[in-house]
A and B are shown apart, each in its own frame.
Chain A
Amino acid sequence: MTKLEARNIVKYFQHDDYKLKALGGVNLKIQEGDFVCIVGPSGCGKSTFLRIAAGLEKPEEGDILFDGKPVTNTGPERIMVFQEGALFPWLKVVDNVEFGLKIAGIPPDERSQISQRYLEMMQLTRFANSYTYQLSTGMKQRVAIARALVMDPDVLLMDEPFAALDAQTRELLLVELQIVWQKTKKTIVFVTHNVAEAVVLGTKVVVFTNRPAVVKKEVSIDFPRPRLVEDQKLVPQQQKILAELKPEVKKRMESE
């Protein structure tokens, strides 16, 4: 079943004195339970595409359909995980995780039962009463993922959530996210500039062109999980995607 469908999405970046066409008619179908990774040259609008899917921005043309209905606003069925986590520094970890439940008016007992489950899943139980400044970057992203999962969304929209992590932490989280995906069967759209990351995570990798971006190629990745970054059998797929991506990055460099 198609969960998200982008139909001819066009989006401009508005600068002070000029407009830049970022998305030039993106068409993409994402099936329920897919783990789709979007790669593309920097500044091609892949994060903007994700923000449109979240309902945080509106396209100039085209629609994103969620379960067949056009997205017009943000909704708890499509939860965004931001690059920097966007955790609330005035709340403890547990209160960050329970935030959405509190907004939804769920009573405290029930809230803590639900949050307990996801704190355990993300191995955060020990840090439940910490404030966010006391956490490492990797821990913060764990909290951000737990906070999103608590909402029980249909779709997780992840905007380069591991970009700021060191290599070891990233590898750990790459495995954990695969396990979370297998356990929860969520549809995930994951934007990254890192091809190895995309191939490890995705059931499908989507390559965006340089801007104005369109979908250049969709590559299915069909290997058993959990996959590791150093898996040799993933190398041919990586190279295939890099071959698509490199000319786009080159175009991007030349256009500067």
Chain B
Amino acid sequence: MSKHFTAKKIIFYVAIIAVWQTVADANFWPNEIFPSPWEVIQDLGYGAADGSLFYGIGTSMLRLIVGLAIAIAGGITLGIFMARMETVNQTIGSLVLGLQSIPSIAWVPLALIWFGVSDAGIIFVTAIGAIFAVTINTYTGVKNIDPHYIEAAQNMGAKGSKLITLVLIPAAFPYMISGFKQGWAFAWRGVIGAEILFSFLGLGFLLNVGRQTIDVSQVIAVMIVIMGIGILIDGLVFKRLENKVMSRWGLR
């Protein structure tokens, strides 16, 4: 079953590359505008050889991790307060829904004015792009906790921070994971988008350099790296976390 699945995948990707190579060979467009797969691979090789690619990956990943960590910590806190205090929900809650509709890129001008061309500015865009997805999913998760869990815990003396860390967060965790997944996707888009506009190091900056030097194979190479990292983090971090929690709860 899974072997069959892998075989299909391999055939699919080989086919894409074959079509790509054929179109490139046909010379409909000049080579500088539509490079062949081989040229893209070569460009990845250059980037790896001079270290610029790894430096870009490292810079973007660091910004992503810091921004996402801020978003997760802030989103959980905000979501719990919204779920547990009606006043907070009626006031800040309505604002959160509005703020979530702002694309993270739209925060870039503000970030540039406030933080200048700096890591802080990019991290700000990353965090604010992800925080509301975490907030809303945490809120929904806490709201959906079986009230008997909370009553039983309170009956056994849980209150305040112990109630939050030992009951509310673990009980809402299946929902919160959805928030983390959405948040991470928003954060990754936010980092790359902000790096393009800030033009200050990272993979987004490499895309910009590719555009400025009209090096299409570099642009495509970096895009493939961005996608690859996305697939990797989704599979290694979030799918694993989700599977672990779901099987523990007996939900799968």
Query: In the complex where A79-B156, A80-B152 touch, is A88 in contact with B248 (Cβ < 8 A)?
Result: no
Instruction: Please pick, from B151, B158, B170, the residue contacting A86 in the complex, using a CB distance under 8 A.
Output: B151
Chain A CB within 8 A of B149 CB = yes
Contact of A54 with B by CB under 8 A: yes
Nearest residue in A to B169 (C-beta to C-beta)? Answer: A90
Q: Are A99 and B173 in contact (CB under 8 A)?
A: no
Complex-state Cα separation, A227 to B114, whole angstroms: 77
| B32 within 8 Å of A (CB atoms) | no
Do A99 and B170 have beta carbons less than 8 Å apart? no
Q: A131-148 CB contact bits vs B (8 Å, 1 = yes)? A: 111100000000000010
Give a binary string over A52-95; 1 marks a CB under 8 Å from any B CB, 0 the rest. 00111000000000000000001110111010101011110000
Q: Is the CB of A117 closer than 8 A to any CB of chain B?
A: no
Give the interface centre of A55, A91, A100, A103 by most chain B CB atoms within 10 Å: A103
Main secondary structure, interface of B, reads helix
A214 sits at the interface (CB 8 A): no
Interface size class of B (residues with CB under 8 A): 20 to 34
Set of chain B residues within 8 Å of A102, measured between Cβ atoms: 166
Q: How far, in Å, is A93 (CB) from chain B's closest CB?
A: 13
B152 to chain A, nearest CB (A): 4
Bound CA span A80–B157, Å = 12
Q: Is the CB of A56 within 8 A of B151?
A: yes
B-chain residues with CB within 8 Å of residue A86 when the two chains form the complex: 146, 148-149, 151-152
Please tell me if the beta carbons of B166 and A103 are within 8 angstroms of each other in the complex: yes
Which residues of B in the span 229-252 have a Cβ within 8 Å of any Cβ on A? 245, 248-251
Asked if A9 is at the interface (CB within 8 A of a chain B CB), the reply is no
Set of chain B residues within 8 Å of A103, measured between Cβ atoms: 153, 156-158, 162, 166
Partner of B148, one of A82, A100, A104: A82
Please classify how large the interface on chain A is, using the bins under 10, 10 to 19, 20 to 34, 35 or more: 20 to 34
Asked if B156 and A89 sit within 8 Å, CB to CB, the answer is no
- Indicate whether B71 reaches chain A with its CB closer than 8 angstroms: no
Q: Does A206 contact B (CB under 8 A)?
A: no
CA of A102 to CA of B148, assembled, Å: 19
The reply to whether B250 and A54 contact each other, CB–CB distance below 8 Å, is no
B192: Cβ under 8 A from any A Cβ: no
Q: Answer yes or no: B187 CB below 8 A from chain A CBs.
A: no
Q: Is B22 an interface residue (CB 8 A)?
A: no
Chain A residues near B151 (CB-CB < 8 A): 56, 74, 80, 82, 86
Query: Which residues of chain B from 131 to 168 have any CB-CB distance to chain A below 8 Å in the complex?
Result: 146, 148-149, 151-158, 162, 166-167
Residues on B lying within 8 angstroms of A by beta carbon are 146, 148-149, 151-158, 162, 166-167, 170-171, 173, 245, 248-251
Q: Which 8 A-B pairs have the closest CB atoms?
A: A133-B250, A100-B156, A86-B148, A90-B170, A86-B152, A103-B157, A74-B155, A89-B249
Given contacts A90-B249, A102-B166, A147-B156, 8 further A-B contacts (CB under 8 A): A56-B155, A74-B154, A75-B155, A76-B157, A82-B151, A88-B149, A88-B153, A90-B245
Q: Which of A's residues lie within 8 Å of B, judged by CB?
A: 54-56, 74-76, 78-80, 82, 84, 86, 88-91, 99-100, 102-104, 131-134, 147, 151
